[in-house]
Amino acid sequence: MTTRVPGPTVAEARFPALGTTAVLLVTEPSALPAAEAVLRAELDAVDRTCSRFRHDSELSRVNLGPRTTTTVSERFAEALAAALRAADLTDGAVDPTVGRAVAGLGYDRTFVSLRPDDTRPLPPPRPAPGWRRIVFDPRTRRLRLPPHTHLDLGATAKALAADRAARGAAAAAGCGVLVSLGGDLSVAGPAPEGGWRVALADDHARPAPVHGPAVAVTGGALATSGIRVRTWRRAGRTLHHIVDPATGEPATPVWRTVTVAAATCVDANTASTAAIVLGDRAVDWLRGGALPARLVGVDGRVVRVGGWPPDSDAPSPASHPAPPPAEPVVPIAPAEPATPPSSATTPYSRRPAPGGAR
């Protein structure tokens, strides 16, 4: 997704980060430096803590260390708690123990470093060991991984960074803030008049079509998961980065993209990733979660659930939580902290995940 700046009073910063693009918008131009400093500090912290591609990251040390109980940092504990909560809510469709499966498919280095057509044979599929086998006490931050388990926090860590950065930047800048990290989008503080105009697209890095679908966001978060952008070829197969934990293989292509609105980016990205994995079961699952979502099939068909509005390139402002269906605004609750898990207050976290998820 991309963001359409609604007026001349909004200032923007854009720069590469975490293998993608970070976008920061503020409603008070003079506050941009303060907000950007918060965002850059947050990005540095999540990279040092949760990157799979840094040998000196805490995640790498945990994955490559002995299978003994260890004490992790507060930042790592927060990221792991978010990942385990996502696994619980999705009944394992989003599972942080897919690390070895993802690396085995060839995504063992930054995406830009992947070979465009890797001829090496693929190893046998590696189903995820399962998040329930992780022993973790969030109070003491003591962690023990089961044998042959590598964590991958990619489904939640970037979204958590977007939530943290948006809240911190809004507090530091004293104005409305939007943070987008490769399509994981979180807002905090007062929105500009008419809301933040967000255009929906398969690739956040490309200009959105002028008359493409768009929504106005006044609070909370949006996240889009898809299978078209982060793809590569290996052993004659086209692969993508969203792995089904049950099989250790890329999720069966049913949806090209799934966009979800929620109170936090962690919840939105959890749901959008789970929907890609669930495939044909995603629509009923999302309806049970009571979150607005827009799904685009590989054949181009569009399915909307949870009150997602009809496609429009001219979103209107929203000042109430439940606009009429014809009004092109996504109704989402004010942002709440993504952690600790017990504090979440979105409809998604209040309801148990529907059965059948893998």
> Could you tell me the residue ranges of all domains in the chain?
2-350
pLDDT tens readout for residues 159-175: 999 999 999 999 999 99
Tokens 């619980």 — which residue? Answer: 88
State yes or no: pLDDT of 352 exceeds 70. no
pLDDT band at residue 53 using 50, 70 and 90 as cut-offs: confident
Q: What is the pLDDT of residue 116?
A: 67
- Percent of the chain whose predicted confidence (pLDDT) is above 70: 74
Tokens 């070829």 — which residue? Answer: 233
Most confident stretch, 67-81, 220-234, 307-321: 67-81
pLDDT band at residue 20 using 50, 70 and 90 as cut-offs: confident
Task: Please check whether residue 263 is in contact with residue 350, taking contact to mean a CB–CB distance below 8 angstroms.
Answer: no
pLDDT band at residue 280 using 50, 70 and 90 as cut-offs: very high
Higher-pLDDT residue of 207, 6: 207
285 contact partners, CB below 8 Å, separation of at least 6 = 274, 275, 278, 353, 354, 356, 357
State yes or no: pLDDT of 242 exceeds 70. yes
Positive or negative, the CA dihedral 272, 273, 276, 280 is negative
Predicted TM-score (pTM) of the model is 0.82
pLDDT tens readout for residues 205-215: 555 555 568 88
pLDDT band at residue 331 using 50, 70 and 90 as cut-offs: very low
pLDDT band at residue 319 using 50, 70 and 90 as cut-offs: very low
Indicate the CATH number for domain 2-350.
Answer: 3.10.520.10
